[in-house]
Structure formats: C-alpha cells, structure tokens
C-alpha cells in the first residue's frame, strides 16, 4: 500500500502463488506479496515499530479517514499538518518513495497522491489481517506459506533493522525448518541459501539479479527472465 525500500511491487507477480490459506511474512515491510493474496489469512511480523504501527493503523482505519488525510506537494513538510504521528509516518514513506525510513519533506519522487487513493480503495481488504512486533525467531512453526523477505545480505544495510541485526546462517536453517511452503527473497550475491536467479532488475545506477529459494519446485529452477 505504501512505498518502502526493497518493496516487491514491481516483481510480485513473478513469485509462486501461496499453496496454503495462511500467509506469514516475518519481515513484512510493505507486505506486497500478502496484498496480492489479501483474501488469505495473513500474519505480518516486523522488528521495526514504525512499520508495525502503520499496519495497525491501516487495519483499524477507514476509507474516509484515509481520504481526509492532507494532500502534500513537493516542498511541504508533514509537521506542517495537524495529523497523528502514525499518519505522518505513512505519508512520510510516500513523499520520498523507496525510502527505508519515513521522511518529513516531500521530494520530487512524491507518490502520496496516488498512494492515498490506492490505500483508500484497498483498506477494506485487510481488516482480517493480524500484525505483530517481533523477530522471526519468535514465531511458532506452522503449516503456512512463509514469504520471507529479509534485508538482503548485500544491500540491506540501509534498513533501520538492517543486516547487522541478522545471523544469516541461523536464518537459513530457520527457513529450511519451516512447515509448509517457503519462499525466500534475495539477490544473487547472497550465500546463505542456494538461491536461484530469478529476474534481472535495472536500477537507477546498476543492474541486480533478484533470486529465490523455495522448498517447492519453482519456475526459476532452470529459467531466468529479465525485467527492465
């Protein structure tokens, strides 16, 4: 619903669909995978309190409340408006798209206008979702589709809860031990699981290759596609 660093909005359609009714995202961020399959029984988990607060707000808010939020144009600051802190955080992720932290001043890459409409139109879809603050290690093992999108081993240092907070060997073993379907996101520079190349991504400065590991067969076991 909102912009976030590392969001899967451009490539979500390339991931395998869930095999289970329940979806768990232990590093949920903007939860783009769950949004694609919003009808499912969704549990979002994140260590970053700002992300959890935004999702709690969205789950409990109304379409009218979202539409009543102010329009913010380039150069304006969220502190200039009489809105709550969590509303400032939500808007702050969209007024400088692709950020790992909410910003205060709207920049040229300000997507809040379209994001507000999108959120308002989609907000009723997520009322049955659950969200909790915590770490992946705290989750019970259960039959589910686990969509695991941690800060990347190479490139994930910009998150507030960044790679320095992750023991990747331990995370890899944890992923392999999950019951049900496991989908793990990374890029091809990662070494903590035997990732398969998935999609070439052309960024503003350089090209990277998204990668996937799953305990089920995927379309990327032998094939790689390009996305520009």
Average pLDDT over residues 49-76: 96
Q: What per-residue confidence (pLDDT) applies to 204?
A: 47
Q: What per-residue confidence (pLDDT) applies to 7?
A: 85
Residues 6+ apart with CB under 8 A from 56: 86, 131
pLDDT-derived band at 160 (thresholds 50, 70, 90) equals: low
Paired sense of beta strands 207-214 and 180-187, if any? antiparallel
At residue 195, does pLDDT exceed 90? yes
**Percent of residues, the chain, with pLDDT higher than 70:** 93
Q: What per-residue confidence (pLDDT) applies to 226?
A: 46
Determine the Cα–Cα distance for residues 162 and 151; give it in Å rounded to an integer. 6
Q: What per-residue confidence (pLDDT) applies to 203?
A: 55
Least confident span in 114-128, 133-147, 177-191, 204-218: 204-218
Q: What per-residue confidence (pLDDT) applies to 223?
A: 55
At residue 158, does pLDDT exceed 80? no
Determine the Cα–Cα distance for residues 96 and 68; give it in Å rounded to an integer. 20
Angle of helix 49-60 relative to helix 85-94, nearest 10 degrees, comes to 100
**Percent of residues, the chain, with pLDDT higher than 90:** 75
CA distances from residue 100 to 7, 55, 82, 86, 144 in whole angstroms, order as listed: 10, 16, 24, 16, 28
CA distances from residue 115 to 1, 48, 94, 161 in whole angstroms, order as listed: 7, 21, 7, 24
Tell me which of 201 and 180 has the higher pLDDT: 180
pLDDT-derived band at 162 (thresholds 50, 70, 90) equals: low
The whole-chain average pLDDT of the chain stands at 91
Are the C-beta atoms of residues 91 and 110 closer than 8 Å to each other? no
At residue 208, does pLDDT exceed 90? no
Are the C-beta atoms of residues 213 and 174 closer than 8 Å to each other? no
User: Beta partners for 10?
Assistant: none
Q: What per-residue confidence (pLDDT) applies to 207?
A: 80
pLDDT-derived band at 227 (thresholds 50, 70, 90) equals: very low
Q: Which pTM was predicted?
A: 0.92
DSSP label at residue 219: T
């Amino acid at each position: 619903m909102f912009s976030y660093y590392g969001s899967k909005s451009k490539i979500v359609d390339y991931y395998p669909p869930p095999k289970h009714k329940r979806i768990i995202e232990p590093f949920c961020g903007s939860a783009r995978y769950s949004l694609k399959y919003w009808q499912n029984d969704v549990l979002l988990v994140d260590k970053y309190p700002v992300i959890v607060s935004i999702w709690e707000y969205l789950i409990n808010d109304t379409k009218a409340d979202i539409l009543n939020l102010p329009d913010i144009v380039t150069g304006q600051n969220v502190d200039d408006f009489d809105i709550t802190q969590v509303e400032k955080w939500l808007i702050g992720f969209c007024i400088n798209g692709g950020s790992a932290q909410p910003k205060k001043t709207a920049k040229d890459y300000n997507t809040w206008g379209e994001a507000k409409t999108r959120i308002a139109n989609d907000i009723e879809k997520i009322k049955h979702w659950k969200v909790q603050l915590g770490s992946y290690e705290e989750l019970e093992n259960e039959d589910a589709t686990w969509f695991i999108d941690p800060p990347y081993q190479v490139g994930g240092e910009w998150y507030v809860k960044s790679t320095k907070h992750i023991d990747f060997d331990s995370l890899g073993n944890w992923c392999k031990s999950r019951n049900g379907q496991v989908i793990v996101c990374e890029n091809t520079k990662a070494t903590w699981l035997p990732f398969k190349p998935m999609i070439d991504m052309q960024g503003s400065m350089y090209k990277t290759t998204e990668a996937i590991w799953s305990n089920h067969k995927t379309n990327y076991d032998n094939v790689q596609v390009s996305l520009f």
